[in-house]
């Protein structure tokens, strides 16, 4: 589905990504873990066209995305849920959801999708009249996910969806991510909560200072001693 090959991204003279290659197969959850500054967010932003690529390629279902703008890329079925949620605080929940469908013209389909979003996130329906800026952090994250789903993406990329949320809310968000995937949406997930991310991942990559240092199934990396020590807070005996 998504193929990234030898991707290099530089800010000034400093390379943030140093030849990244990875695959996101159709229907799977693929997770990227790594420390702050490893290049995880840069990778997502370069795939969606927000960051200029120095060299390498990004392909999606055989189409080259490199060089396209974000709107062209979104029209092909990709979407990004950015770090920090980025909801529109002075618009209502419903208005935020409708913005997610800004490229669509099918009013009946939009109404049906809003109903579906409310089934996934009942709290959003309860608060559909409320200004997004007055929602809790967890509710804003649900709104950000719902807004992204309104574009009917085939591939949803998520940047740190659990950041700043309480443990119970994090568990709920990851259950929703799993559910979104089970309903047919492929997921590329960047996440610092390595334990939760690896538990939901079919495949995972470890990014360190702009390079992929390790990959394997989520289960394999959860059981890897180096990963346990570096990312899961478990010391070697």
- Residue 225 belongs to domain with CATH number: 3.40.50.300
Tell which residue, 33, 34, 16, 32, has the closest CA to residue 24: 32
pLDDT at 235: 57
- Structural domain includes residue 42: yes
**Residue 190: partners with Cβ closer than 8 Å, 6 or more residues away:** 31, 32, 40, 41, 43, 44, 83, 157, 158, 159, 160
**Mean model confidence pLDDT for the chain:** 92
Q: How many CB atoms lie within 10 A of CB 86?
A: 13
CB atoms within 10 A of CB 70: 13
> Taking every pair of C-alpha atoms in the chain, what is the biggest distance, in angstroms?
59
Does 97 reside within a domain?
no
Per-residue pLDDT at 36 exceeds 90: no
Assigned domain for 40 exists: yes
| Region label for 231, one of left (φ > 0), alpha (ψ between -120 and 50) or beta (otherwise) | alpha
Residue 141 placed within a domain: no
Query: What strand order describes the sheet that includes 55-60?
Result: 14-24, 2-11, 55-60, 63-64
What's the token pair of residue 14? Answer: 């400093």
Q: Which residue spans within the chain are E strands per DSSP? A: 2-11, 14-24, 29-33, 55-60, 63-64, 78-81, 155-159, 186-190, 203-208, 211-216
Where in the sequence is the domain holding 63, given as residue range(s)?
2-86+153-200+216-231
Has residue 132 been placed in a domain? no
pLDDT mean over 141-159: 94
**pLDDT recorded at residue 108:** 93
Extract the tokens encoding 149.
Answer: 């789903």
| CA Rg value for the chain | 18
- pLDDT band for position 123 (50/70/90)? very high
CA 169 to chain centre: 17
Would you state the pLDDT for residue 37? 84
pLDDT in tens, 37-90: 889 999 999 999 999 999 999 999 999 999 899 999 999 999 999 887 789 999
pLDDT for residue 204 is more than 80: yes
- Among 102-111, 146-155, 184-193, the minimum mean pLDDT is found in 102-111
Amino acid 237: pLDDT: 47
- Of the candidates 35, 81, 33, 29, the one whose C-alpha atom is nearest the C-alpha of residue 191 is 33
Within a domain: residue 144?
no
Residue 53 within any structural domain of the chain: yes
pTM recorded for the entire structure: 0.91
pLDDT per position as a tens digit, 158-176: 999 988 888 898 999 999 9
Q: Does residue 98 fall inside a structural domain?
A: no
H-type helices in the chain, by residue range? 40-47, 70-74, 93-99, 107-120, 122-126, 137-149, 167-182, 194-200, 218-223, 225-231
Q: How many distinct structural domains can be found in the chain?
A: 1
Sign of CA dihedral 143, 144, 149, 155: negative
CA distance 172 to 41: 23
Is the per-residue pLDDT at 13 higher than 50?
yes
């Amino acid at each position: 589905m998504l193929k990234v090959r030898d991707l290099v991204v530089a800010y000034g003279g400093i390379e943030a990504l140093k030849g990244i290659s990875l695959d996101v197969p159709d229907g799977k959850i693929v997770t990227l873990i790594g420390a702050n500054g490893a290049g995880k967010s840069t990778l997502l932003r370069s795939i969606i066209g927000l960051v200029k690529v120095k060299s390498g390629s990004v392909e999606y279902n055989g189409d080259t995305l490199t060089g396209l703008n974000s709107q062209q890329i979104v029209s092909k079925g990709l979407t990004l849920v950015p770090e920090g949620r980025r909801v529109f605080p002075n618009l209502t929940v419903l208005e935020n959801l409708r913005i997610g469908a800004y490229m669509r013209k099918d009013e009946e389909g939009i109404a049906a999708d809003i109903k579906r979003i409310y089934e996934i996130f009942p709290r959003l329906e309860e608060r559909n009249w409320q200004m997004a800026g007055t929602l809790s952090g967890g509710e804003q994250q649900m709104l950000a996910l719902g807004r992204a789903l309104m574009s009917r993406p085939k591939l949803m990329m998520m940047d740190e969806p659990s950041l700043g949320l309480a443990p119970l809310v994090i568990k709920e968000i990851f259950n929703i991510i799993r559910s979104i995937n089970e309903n047919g949406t492929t997921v590329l997930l960047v996440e610092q909560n390595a334990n939760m991310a690896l538990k939901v991942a079919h495949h995972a990559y470890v990014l360190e200072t702009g390079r992929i240092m390790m990959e394997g199934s989520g289960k394999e990396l959860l059981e890897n001693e180096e990963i346990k020590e570096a990312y899961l807070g478990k010391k070697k005996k």
